[in-house]
Structure 1
Amino acid sequence: MGVCGKLQDKTKLTIDAYNKNFAGYADKFMKYSPYAQHVIEFAGLLEDDFKVLDIGCGPGNVAKQLCAVRRLEITGIDLSSEMLEIAKVSVPDGIFQLQDFRKARFLSEYFDAVVLSFSIVHLDDDEVNEVLANAVKWLRSDGYLYVSFMEGKQAGFETTSFSLQPLYFNYFQEAKIEAFFKANGIDCFRSIRQDYLEPDGSNTTDVFLFGKKQQG
C-alpha cells in the first residue's frame, strides 16, 4: 500500500492496532501518573453530577480518574470496540458508545465538561478543527474543556511502546490550538508542557490545556 492509500485508511489501520493491542495500552495508561495528575487537577474544577463527554475515551482511564475525584455522569465515545469493553468495566456507571467522533452528534451546550485526552492526535488538521469546533458547541457556557496532544514532528505512521503495529499520529503547535480556542470562545487558563520519553530514547513534548467556555 502506498503512502496515499495508507493515509486514506489511517483511521482503520489505527483502530485495528488499538483493537489488537488494547491490553498493552490499558496496562500502561490506566494508571500512568504523569498523565493522571493533570486529569485529577482538571477534575478538581468540576462539580458532582456534572455531565462529561470523553471523546476518544479508550479503555476509560481518564473517565475512571475523573470519577475518583467527583461523582460524574460520564459519556465516552471511541471506535475501538475492545477499548470500550474495558471502559465499561472501569466505569460501570458510565455510558460508552462505539462512535466515530468525527461524525458524532450531541445537543448543543449539553455537557458541563468535554475531554479530549490524546484523541486529536489521530486526526488530520482539517478533522481536528471540526472535532474541536463540535466540542465547543456541545459545551455549555462556563463549561470546562480539557485537551492534550503532542507537539512537533511530522504526521505519519509510528509504532509505540504498546504496539509494534503502526498507528497514525499527528502533531500540533500549542500556539495554534490556543488561537483556535480563543477564536471559538474558549479561555485557555492553564497550559502544561512535559517531556515524554519515546522507545528510541528521544523526547516528545506533551501539552495539556485547560479551557473555559465564555458566556455568549
Structure 2
Amino acid sequence: MTDPGNHGRRAAVRNSYDAVAEAYLDTIGGELTHKPLDRALLVALLEQTATGAPVADLGCGPGHVTGWLAAHGAARAVGIDLSPGMVALARRDHPEAEFREGDLLRLPAADGEFGAAVALYSVIHLEPAELAPAFAEAWRVLRPGGRLLVAFHAGTEVRHLDDWWGHPVDVDFRFLEPVPVAELLRGAGFDVEATLERAHYPQEAQTTRAYVLARRPEA
C-alpha cells in the first residue's frame, strides 16, 4: 500500500523546487566550473560507459549536469526530475539533451535503458525507508555493467527550510552516512567500486561531500 504521507512529502519537495527554479539556476547552474573532483568523477563514469549507451541524470534540476554530460561524450543524456519547473528550464537551456518529469521511486524509463546514471544530491530528499526502493529503481533502469554515481552531504543531520532565497518552501535536506548508503546499494544488487569524501569548496555550503560509485553486475 502506498503511504499517503510520502506522497505529501514528495509534493512538498516538488512545489519547493518549482518555487526556486529560476533562483536555483542562477545560483547553482554553473557549479561544475568550480568542482574539479566532480568533473573528474563524471569523466571517469563516461569513460566506463558502453559506447552508444545513454546516460541518466536522476534528479537533474535545471539540467546543468545533464548538459555537461551531453557535451563531454555521452551518446545521449537524459535528465529526470520531480519538478516541472526545473524540467522546463532544463529543456529551454539544454536542447542537446532529453528531459522527463519523474519520481526517483518510479523512474520514467525502461528496464536496462541506461549505460550509466548519476544521482547528485537528489536522494537527500528521500525518507530513509525510500532509499532502498530508489536504488532498486536505479538498478532496474541500468544495463548490466552500468555504473551509478551517487553524491550527498555526509552526516546524520536533517536541515529543514521554510524559506529558500526568499521563496516559501517546505523541504528537508537529509545528510547520509557513506557506509550505510553503500550497504543499501549492495542490498539493491550493486557492487560498490569506490567511496570517498571531500571538504566543501569555497563556493559551496559548508558540508562534507560524499560519493559512492556502484556498478550493476554483468548478467
TM-score (norm 1): 0.83
What pairs with 1:36-55 in structure 2 (closer than 5 Å)? 36-37=38-39, 38-55=41-58
What pairs with 1:11-50 in structure 2 (closer than 5 Å)? 11-32=10-31, 33-34=34-35, 36-37=38-39, 38-50=41-53
Q: Deviations over 1:116-165 (max 9, x none)?
A: 11111111011111011110121111111111111213335236875654
Residues 57, 119 of structure 2: 8 Å contact kept: yes
- Does residue 1:95 correspond to 2:94, yes or no? no
Distance 1:150 1:49 in 2: 32
Q: Please provide the CA RMSD for this pair.
A: 2.9
Residue equivalent to 1:77:
80
Against the structure 1 CA distance between its residues 7 and 53, is the aligned structure 2 distance closer, same or farther, given a 3 Å change threshold?
closer
Residue equivalent to 1:189:
193
Residues 186, 214 of structure 1: 8 Å contact kept: yes
Report the CA distance between 1:23 and its aligned residue.
1.8
Q: Deviations over 1:182-215 (max 9, x none)?
A: 233322223231223799x983211112222112
Report the CA distance between 1:107 and its aligned residue.
2.5
Q: Deviations over 1:62-114 (max 9, x none)?
A: 11111121042222221211211221133213221222232335332221112
Residue equivalent to 1:178:
182
Calculate percent identity across the aligned residue pairs: 21
Distance 1:80 1:202 in 2: 22
Q: What count of residue pairs does the alignment treat as equivalent? A: 211
Distance 1:87 1:202 in 2: 23
Against the structure 1 CA distance between its residues 170 and 28, is the aligned structure 2 distance closer, same or farther, given a 3 Å change threshold?
same
Runs of 5+ consecutive residues of structure 1 not aligned to the other structure: none
Distance 2:164 2:199 in 1: 15
Distance 2:17 2:30 in 1: 18
AA aligned to 1:131 is: A
Task: Give the alignment partner of residue 143 of structure 1, picking from 116, 139, 146.
Answer: 146
2:208 match: secondary structure: strand
TM-score (norm 2): 0.82
Residue equivalent to 1:129:
132
Distance 1:189 1:13 in 2: 34
Distance 1:82 1:124 in 2: 22
Against the structure 1 CA distance between its residues 128 and 162, is the aligned structure 2 distance closer, same or farther, given a 3 Å change threshold?
farther
Residue equivalent to 2:71:
68
2:11 match: secondary structure: helix
Distance 2:73 2:202 in 1: 32
- Does residue 1:204 correspond to 2:203, yes or no? no
Distance 1:191 1:208 in 2: 6
